[in-house]
């Protein structure tokens, strides 16, 4: 990777992200630009520390007019997207072939009186299930076009947006559907194939989520994506759309499946909890939780997903309706419903398939003793079957 000797402009920094295969770029006053590569923060650039004037100058180079207007009006943080045409595609553009643009998701926020930024590089092509190393049940969920609510949950940086884009792109290529997304901001451009696709970005196409959600069911959608279920309005809209015959996808910031269900109730007053639990039990099709772990070098990947999957069956629906979320992992672990599994089972499979190291799996395990016991149990059964 070329080392930049002087403070570059923003376009040069974004190109450097590509060459370094970095997922994120952090601009902070008092530090040089910092990259996140393979999940770890690194400073691969020999650059001076940034001043308040530096960060403002760099960010204004990529801010759309509405973002600059928001700052002038006193906004303390904002989100927007910017694009970059890689050099190797510029020649193609001159030949009248469409240039392949890369999207970068930018979060700019005020800290210590100056502007900082976290910039996420979004892959220009939507990856497949296989490329993401997702279990087959994810594809099965995507191919179930019956109405209902599908939640993809995880902590920040766990690949939720990428997974949702993968699922919608699979539908886009296999079904004739009307897909409407409401995102803040749009991260993956979904080009219509068999389906009709409309992507609406908050702050650009529509002022806010409540406005977009108020009108979305009038747009004759088959599939609705709500980029993030973040409050009472978005959760209610998701449930109501699922109840009225739509397929609804949404993401939530939650570490696992059961906590995501509990978090939904936190958006509502206590006297509404019983009603919301009943609505959820009737509308939810699947809850897919994931975390990204450092992968072993021989896999050819930097990161590998550990997953937890809840598919609603009569037992799960009853537990959701009664609010007994803590019992759901036991139902998953003992279920004959193909595809359902806990994080512990997923981690054990990753270790056994030599996708992640045992040390890494234990670091991310919800219960280290349970993971160790499960792996030892499989090893014992395996040696018994082979006679060793």
Q: Which domain holds residue 22?
A: 10-122
Bigger pLDDT: 21 vs 12: 12
Confidence at 243, pLDDT banded by 50, 70, 90: very high
Identify whether 339 is part of a domain: yes
Do 113 and 165 reside in the same domain of the chain? no
Instruction: Count Cβ atoms within 10 A of the Cβ of residue 121 and give its class: 0-12 exposed, 13-18 middle, 19 or more buried.
Output: buried
Identify whether 386 is part of a domain: no
Average pLDDT over residues 282-293: 97
Bigger pLDDT: 291 vs 47: 291
Instruction: Count Cβ atoms within 10 A of the Cβ of residue 191 and give its class: 0-12 exposed, 13-18 middle, 19 or more buried.
Output: exposed
Average pLDDT, the chain: 89
Average pLDDT over residues 322-350: 89
Do 256 and 295 reside in the same domain of the chain? yes
Q: Which residues pair with 196 in a beta bridge?
A: 178
Res 2: pLDDT? 45
Identify whether 387 is part of a domain: no
Omega before 185 cis (within 30°)?
yes
Confidence at 5, pLDDT banded by 50, 70, 90: low
Contacts of 32 (CB under 8 A, 6+ apart): 43, 45, 47, 48, 49, 50
Confidence at 336, pLDDT banded by 50, 70, 90: low
Strands 148-154 and 284-294 turn out to be parallel
Do 164 and 59 reside in the same domain of the chain? no
| Segments in the chain forming alpha helices (H) | 10-20, 52-60, 65-72, 87-94, 136-143, 160-174, 209-216, 232-243, 257-266, 273-283, 314-322, 328-334, 343-352, 358-364, 368-386
Give the span between the Cα atoms of 55 and 10, in whole angstroms: 10
Of the candidates 99, 122, 145, which is a domain's last residue?
A: 122
Confidence at 388, pLDDT banded by 50, 70, 90: very low
Of the candidates 73, 93, 122, which is a domain's last residue?
A: 122
Identify whether 128 is part of a domain: no
Contact 180, 221 (CB under 8 A): yes
Residue 371: CATH number of its domain: 3.40.50.300
Q: How many domains does one find in the chain? A: 2
Res 385: pLDDT? 42
Do 202 and 350 reside in the same domain of the chain? yes
Confidence at 202, pLDDT banded by 50, 70, 90: confident
Bigger pLDDT: 4 vs 365: 365
Residue 66 has pLDDT above 90, yes or no: no
What are the φ/ψ torsions at residue 232 (nearest 5 degrees)? -60, -40
| Segments in 152-218 forming alpha helices (H) | 160-174, 209-216
Identify whether 300 is part of a domain: yes
Res 92: pLDDT? 47
Residue 4 has pLDDT above 60, yes or no: no
> Which residue, 285, 284, 268, is CA-closest to 276?
268
Do 117 and 165 reside in the same domain of the chain? no
Radius of gyration of the chain (CA): 22
Q: What percent of the chain has pLDDT over 90?
A: 69
Do 236 and 371 reside in the same domain of the chain? yes
Give the span between the Cα atoms of 101 and 382, in whole angstroms: 49
Do 242 and 288 reside in the same domain of the chain? yes
pLDDT (tens digit per residue) in 210-222 = 999 999 999 999 9
> Which residue, 285, 277, 287, 279, is CA-closest to 313?
285
Do 305 and 173 reside in the same domain of the chain? yes
Do 211 and 344 reside in the same domain of the chain? yes
Do 166 and 37 reside in the same domain of the chain? no
Do 181 and 315 reside in the same domain of the chain? yes
Residue 3 has pLDDT above 70, yes or no: no
The token duo for 191 is 């080009």
Confidence at 188, pLDDT banded by 50, 70, 90: confident
CA atoms within 13 A on the CB side of 148: 17
Identify whether 383 is part of a domain: no
Contact 271, 242 (CB under 8 A): no
> Which residue, 184, 156, 150, is CA-closest to 170?
150
Instruction: Count Cβ atoms within 10 A of the Cβ of residue 328 and give its class: 0-12 exposed, 13-18 middle, 19 or more buried.
Output: buried
Give the span between the Cα atoms of 248 and 58, in whole angstroms: 38
What are the φ/ψ torsions at residue 74 (nearest 5 degrees)? 95, 15
Give the span between the Cα atoms of 261 and 277, in whole angstroms: 9
Res 337: pLDDT? 63
Give the CA angle between residues 34, 129, 97 to the nearest 5°. 70
Res 378: pLDDT? 60
Identity of the highest mean pLDDT range in 69-83, 102-116, 128-142: 128-142
pLDDT (tens digit per residue) in 158-182 = 999 999 999 999 999 999 999 999 9
Res 253: pLDDT? 95
Residue 36: CATH number of its domain: 3.30.450.90
Collapsing DSSP states into helix, strand and coil, what is residue 253?
strand
Residue 100 has pLDDT above 80, yes or no: no
Confidence at 383, pLDDT banded by 50, 70, 90: very low
Res 384: pLDDT? 47
Of the candidates 122, 156, 185, which is a domain's last residue?
A: 122
Residue 195 has pLDDT above 80, yes or no: yes
Do 213 and 307 reside in the same domain of the chain? yes
Collapsing DSSP states into helix, strand and coil, what is residue 98?
coil
- Chain-centroid distance of CA 8 in Å reads 30
Identify whether 100 is part of a domain: yes
Identify whether 4 is part of a domain: no
pLDDT (tens digit per residue) in 15-40 = 988 888 888 999 999 999 999 887 78
């Amino acid at each position: 990777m070329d080392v930049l000797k002087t403070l570059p402009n923003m376009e040069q920094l974004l190109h450097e992200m590509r060459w370094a295969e970095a997922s994120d770029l952090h601009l902070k006053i008092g530090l040089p630009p910092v990259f996140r590569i393979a999940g770890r923060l690194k400073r691969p650039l020999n650059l001076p520390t940034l001043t308040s004037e530096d960060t403002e100058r760099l960010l204004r180079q990529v801010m759309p007019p509405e973002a600059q207007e928001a700052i002038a009006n006193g906004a303390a943080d904002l989100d927007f997207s910017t694009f970059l045409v890689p050099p190797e595609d510029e020649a193609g553009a001159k030949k009248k072939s469409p240039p392949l643009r890369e999207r970068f998701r930018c979060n700019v926020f005020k800290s210590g009186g100056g502007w900082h930024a976290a910039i996420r590089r979004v892959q220009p092509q939507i990856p497949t299930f296989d490329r993401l190393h997702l279990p087959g049940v994810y594809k099965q969920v995507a191919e179930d076009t019956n109405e209902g609510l599908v939640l993809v949950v995880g902590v920040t940086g766990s690949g939720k947006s990428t997974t949702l884009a993968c699922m919608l792109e699979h539908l886009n290529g296999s079904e004739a559907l009307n897909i409407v997304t409401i995102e803040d901001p749009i991260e993956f451009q979904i080009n219509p194939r068999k389906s009709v696709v409309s992507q609406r970005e908050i702050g650009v196409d529509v002022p806010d989520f409540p406005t977009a959600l108020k009108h979305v069911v009038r747009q004759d959608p088959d599939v609705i994506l709500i980029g993030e279920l973040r409050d009472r309005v978005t959760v209610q809209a998701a449930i109501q759309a699922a109840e009225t015959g739509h397929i609804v996808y949404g993401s939530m910031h939650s570490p696992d499946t059961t906590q995501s269900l509990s978090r939904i109730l936190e958006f509502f007053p206590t006297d509404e909890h019983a009603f919301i639990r009943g609505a959820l039990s009737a509308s939810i099709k699947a809850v897919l939780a994931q975390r990204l772990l450092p992968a072993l070098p021989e896999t050819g990947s930097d990161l590998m997903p550990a997953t937890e999957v809840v598919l609603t069956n009569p037992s799960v629906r009853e537990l959701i309706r009664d609010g007994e979320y803590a019992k759901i992992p036991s139902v998953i672990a003992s279920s004959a419903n193909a595809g359902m599994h806990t994080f512990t089972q997923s981690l054990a499979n990753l270790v056994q398939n030599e996708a992640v190291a045992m040390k890494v799996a234990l670091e991310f395990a919800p219960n280290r003793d349970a993971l160790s016991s499960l792996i030892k149990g499989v090893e014992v059964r395996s040696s018994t079957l082979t006679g060793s």
